[in-house]
Structure 1
Amino acid sequence: MKQTLRLGEVLRTLAIALAVAVGVRHFLFAPYWIPSGSMVPELLPGDCLIVSKFLHGPFRRGEVLVFASPTGSGEVLVKRVIGLPGDSVQLKAGRLFLNGQQVPCADAGHYEDESGAGPVVARICTETLPGGRSYPILKVADDGFANNTPVYTVPPGDLFLLGDNRDNSEDSRFLDGPVGYVPERDVIGRAVLVLVALDPRAHGLKLRPGRFFRRVE
């Protein structure tokens, strides 16, 4: 059941959350607010992420990264790692192929995506990358360029990133867009958890309590 909290309770909760975020942002963590629906259903507009800036070890397929747009616009974005340097990536009829092999995606029913101008009923499936990392993605259509791409070969030092909301994400499929191949040096950090979540559709401040301190898969 959705719960609407009094304004004072909302402000106190936000104050605590932001105090924690601001207190650590100059060290190993930083806050990041999700502005759009490109990562639905894993991340929703209004989610406040805690991002780990401790970038130890190599990047891994399936992890969610926050990064600066390679265009130099200053925009900060969030997507999921699909391809590592040297990997080949392609989509055919909406299905992901990695190094020539189709990535399994198990049907998980339907999902009503309310992150855009109006509700959209999408198919939801659980995609599982080599190595075992699984996460849900949304699909509405199987046609068009974004679902039938050329083969991308990820250059050395770069990453290939996709949004989980596959038909509502401007990502590495669009090489002339704000993402394209993402240099590893532009990565700000790894998404760790949803600290607090607001419902941007509500009139006034409304929290999504069930998403507090939710680990990012």
Structure 2
Amino acid sequence: MTKKKSESGGIGETLRTVLYAILIALVLRTFAYEPFSIPSGSMLPTLMVGDYLFVSKFSYGYSRHSFPMSLAPIDGRVFASQPERGDVAVFKLPSDNSTDYIKRIIGLPGDRIQVEEGVLQINGDPVEREKLGEGMVRSGGYPIRISEYLETLPNGVTHQIWERGDDELFDNTPVFTVPEDHFFAMGDNRDSSQDSRSQNVGFIPEENLVGRAEFIFFSNNGAARFWEIWKWPSAIRFDRIFQAID
């Protein structure tokens, strides 16, 4: 009888421990940091396919999208804080409010954003970009030539961007005036990014912001499957682990 009670108590204690662990993880994921993975090359060269990063949920305050499946009954944002120009942010795609996108915040409420011959214009002024060089990369299995630039936003934030050319699909746009409580986001891989320049994305409502990308905690190049342990050392990008996201 004592043995059965002991076994029952042990199972109950284990279940409680697992439940507490799940609750703690859920709280941390909701209010502190949430992990995300990068599935596409739209943010190259800043973020690579196979990067795993942490996003701070508290950076912009909380909305219903801060919670799993966006189920929280929150209207707007609480403890709201506006993103800074140049932040790399995760947000819910406005057209479905469920798909996660990650782009760079370029335009703030009231800004006028335009691209002319590949050069970003903010409020009528061209953004400074310095050419760093050219190179060949693979996209969709095919080699393409890209030019790499260092772009400097009006608030002094600098980041690298890629351009295939200055006459691609979104290299000449109308003027976009960012509405109140909305933001304009663009990918760093300018000619391979569906972002606010596209009707499929458009302006980002403030409540759709999920958080700010902070740092990469793991990265792999996809050359090794999970069970191919012997390939892990060559597949892991050790130089990107714990790299801050600028």
TM-score (norm 2): 0.75
Q: Distance in 2 between matches of 1:43 and 1:112?
A: 17
Q: Is the 8 A contact 2:147 2:165 kept in 1?
A: no
Q: Distance in 2 between matches of 1:48 and 1:203?
A: 16
The higher relative CO (CA closer than 8 Å, separation ≥ 6) is in: 1
2:29, 2:137 → 1: CA distance?
A: 31
Q: Are 1:26 and 2:47 matched, yes or no?
A: no
RMSD: 1.7
Residue 203 of structure 2 corresponds to: 181
**Structure 1 letter corresponding to 2:40:** S
Q: Which residue of 1 aligns with 2:192?
A: 168
**Aligned pair 1:216/2:245, yes or no?**
yes
Q: TM-score, structure 1 length as denominator? A: 0.84
1:92 counterpart = 2:116: yes
Structure number with bigger Rg: 2
Contact 1:45 1:115 in 2 (8 A): no
Give the Cα–Cα distance (whole angstroms) in 2 for the partners of residues 27 and 91 of structure 1: 36
Alignment of 1:51-200 (within 5 A): 51-56=55-60, 57-72=81-96, 74-114=98-138, 116-174=140-198, 176-177=199-200, 179-200=201-222
Q: Distance in 1 between the 2:58 and 2:121 partners?
A: 30
Deviation at 1:55, TM superposition (A): 2.5
Deviation at residue 212 of structure 1 after TM alignment:
0.2
Match of 2:42 in 1: 38
Q: Please give the per-residue CA displacement for 1:176-195, whole angstroms capped at 9, x wherever unaligned.
A: 21x21000110000000011
Please tell me the residue identity of whatever aligns with 2:191: D
Is the 2:118–2:172 Cα contact (8 Å) retained in structure 1?
A: yes
Amino acid at match of 1:151: V
Greater helix share, 1 or 2? 2
Residue 121 of structure 1, CA deviation = 2.4
Structure 1 residue 27, shift from structure 2 partner: 3.1
Distance in structure 2 (CA, Å) of the matches to 1:120 and 1:49: 27
**% identical aligned pairs:** 40
